[in-house]
Amino acid sequence: MTRKLLQLAVLIGSVTATGWLLADNHKHGESKSLPPVSNAKWKTECSSCHTLYHPGLLPERSWRKMMSGLDQHFGENASLDPVTQKEIMEFLVANSADHATNRRSAKISQSIPAQSTPLRISETPWFVQKHDKVSTDVWKRPKIGSPANCTACHEGAEQGNFSESRIKIPR
């Protein structure tokens, strides 16, 4: 190869590599994480029994239904005083899957048929498809217990980070 051609080849190579790096960053920024959200009451009240679920994981109608039935919440009484309940509900709705603008939330909301109002993230078609490689006996391991226990495997779950590099499945 002549010197000129070699230079050209190196140039093309580096442009392509930069392209890949940019594409990768783009993917991470847009689809690997949910945006940071915070509300003090939500943090206190909704993390005492389980993972603090990011509001971008369910659509508005799901949060409304859940928040209006807290006295019978998956077999537990999770009732709140009306003021706290309203504040948390408004926070959840404002950041819900169908109001958020990130790609992950958009996919979740698209996966749920309009006529269905799931109360479990772990039962949405999106969740089931993302976890189709996790077998039933893995969910039942003592350190996991149920698919609802996101933090058992995703250490960044409460910050909305589900990237592959942060998945560790307990034995």
The residues binding ligand HEC (CB under 6 A) are 32, 45-46, 48-50, 53, 57, 73-74, 76, 78, 88, 120-122, 130-131, 133-134, 138, 144, 146-150, 152-154, 162-164, 167, 169
Residue of 57, 29, 58, 53 lying closest to 43 (CA atoms): 53
Minimum distance from CB of 108 to ligand HEC (Å)?
9
Minimum CB distance to ligand HEC smaller for 16 or for 163: 163
Residues 6+ apart with CB under 8 A from 42: 52, 88, 91, 92
Minimum CB distance to ligand HEC smaller for 7 or for 86: 86
8 Å CB contact between 129 and 111: yes
For tokens 């389980």, the residue is 50
Minimum distance from CB of 18 to ligand HEC (Å)?
23
Phi-psi bin for 90: left (phi > 0), alpha (psi -120 to 50), beta?
A: alpha
Minimum CB distance to ligand HEC smaller for 16 or for 132: 132
Minimum CB distance to ligand HEC smaller for 7 or for 163: 163
